Copies of this chain bind each other. A is one copy, B any other.
């Protein structure tokens, strides 16, 4: 049946971020729906942010579009010089190459849930707030040194 039974997919909270940058997403619990439903054209992640958790470090991709839609709860979309409340049904788009780092932060006292759609990151990803850069699938400091 094409309907996705989310509860049948185990959520994970793994991250490739080196410490200490992984702490911000330790309570980001996500399910990759693409592999669970044989989609390959694009990826869909179902994400639950516990109170205090962030969707990611604030970042932008050179060559991957991203799209999010809120399904439940409240989050704050943080970007350069702006904080935008996001509630159920609210959507945001992050076109590739726009150098405006973004993240969703759950500053409420209840879980929030959103979907994130995109392609696997293969281009460089920039993190304006922290000493981190992703290139060739490897996280390094901005001076190129490895963690």
Contacts and interface: CB of A to CB of B under 8 A. Distances in A.
A141 interface: no
Interface in A107-121: 113, 115, 117-119
Interface in A54-107: 64-65, 67, 69, 71-72, 77, 79, 82, 84, 86, 88-96, 98, 100, 102
Interface of A: 1-4, 6, 33-34, 37-42, 44, 46, 64-65, 67, 69, 71-72, 77, 79, 82, 84, 86, 88-96, 98, 100, 102, 113, 115, 117-119
A23 to B, nearest CB: 25
Nearest to A90: B3
